[in-house]
Amino acid sequence: MDSRVRFEIVPSILSADFACLGEQVRAVFEAGIRRIQIDVMDGQFVPNITMGPLIIEAIRPIANEYDGYFETHLMIVQPERYLADFAKAGSDMLIVHVETCPHLHRTLQQIRELGKSPAVALNPSTPLTAIEEVLGDVDMVLVMTVNPGFGGQAFITSQLDKVRRLRAMLDERGLQATPIEVDGGVHVPTIAAAVAAGATLLVSGSGVYNKKASVAENVRRLMEAGQAGG
Ligand code: DX5
């Protein structure tokens, strides 16, 4: 029986070197990663502008070589306008923010109708009650552990209690199979606490893509550090 803790590192390409993005994406798949996060920002919901469907379309063929999985994190206002575009470009999961969706239940339905996996994200100041009524309609809940917009920020430890409460909320509803993802400030010193709190999907951008070590070495270090959270 493998006693190792089950969790997955999900690299965010926001911190990748975009001058050689294809190689950077291949590097994480070569390191054994199967799931990556694409951070879409519109400069309105968050104070940064990043990438759109074109990027997903460009790197999708690489992911296909490895049976890779793209979760697209939509940090944009009115995400319902672009669901079909991001689905067509090659997203497997579409993550919308509860803060941008006044008709969240309908938006999640629209993602499912596109044949994609719906997920919802919460900013640090947003209470769990904001998503209580849709827990049965999502395939994942993302708890932000930074205020969205940029990579390289510090992990907000107050969100660990939110992760624990969310795990209890999901389990009370028979949703043990619904994973919790955390995103932001996940590094070697912080990953074990996130795993211990109940996160099984750990997004890391600057923890995977940095000048300190190779992608493979950074992934290995994060996996090793995360095991302590079991
Ligand atoms: C922040 C993004 C995160 C970010 C994580 O708004 O949603 O995915 O890329 O970056 P790190 O891991 O560097 O905090």
Q: b or e along 147-162 (b: 16 or more beta carbons within 10 Å of the residue's beta carbon)? A: ebbbbeeebbeebbeb
pLDDT reading at 218 higher than 70: yes
Q: How far apart are CA 197 and CA 159, in angstroms?
A: 9
pLDDT tens string 197-209: 999 999 999 999 9
Q: How far apart are CA 180 and CA 167, in angstroms?
A: 7
Pocket test for ligand 1, best of 10, 12, 212 (most atoms within 8 A of CB): 12
Ligand 1 center to 123 CA (angstroms): 12
The CB of 148 under 6 Å from ligand 1? The reply is yes
Atom 1, ligand 1: residue with shortest CA distance: 148
- Residue keyed to tokens 């992760």: 163
pLDDT reading at 36 higher than 70: yes
Half-sphere exposure at residue 221, Cβ-oriented, CA atoms within 13 angstroms: 17
pLDDT reading at 2 higher than 70: no
The CB of 100 under 6 Å from ligand 1? The reply is no
Q: How confident is the model at residue 230 (pLDDT cuts 50, 70, 90)?
A: confident
State residue 177 phi and psi, 5-degree precision.
Answer: -85, -10
Ligand 1 center to 159 CA (angstroms): 15
Measured from the Cα of 184, ligand 1's closest atom is 14
The pLDDT of 178-182, averaged and rounded, is 98
Residue count of the chain: 230
User: Among the options 39, 42, 67, 139, which is catalytic?
Assistant: 39
Atom 10, ligand 1: residue with shortest CA distance: 151
183 carries an active-site annotation: yes
Calculate helix-pair angle for 21-30, 53-65, nearest 10 degrees: 40
* pLDDT averaged over every residue in the chain: 97
Q: How far apart are CA 19 and CA 25, in angstroms?
A: 12
The pLDDT of 165-178, averaged and rounded, is 98
pLDDT for 5 equals: 65
Q: How far apart are CA 219 and CA 64, in angstroms?
A: 21
pLDDT for 228 equals: 86
The CB of 195 under 6 Å from ligand 1? The reply is no
pLDDT tens string 110-153: 999 999 999 999 999 999 999 999 999 999 999 999 999 999 99
pLDDT tens string 62-110: 999 999 999 999 999 999 999 999 999 999 999 999 999 999 999 999 9
Q: How far apart are CA 187 and CA 74, in angstroms?
A: 23
pLDDT for 4 equals: 64
Ligand 1 center to 2 CA (angstroms): 30
pLDDT reading at 163 higher than 70: yes
Q: How confident is the model at residue 176 (pLDDT cuts 50, 70, 90)?
A: very high
Q: Is the dihedral of CA 27, 217, 158, 151 positive or negative?
A: negative
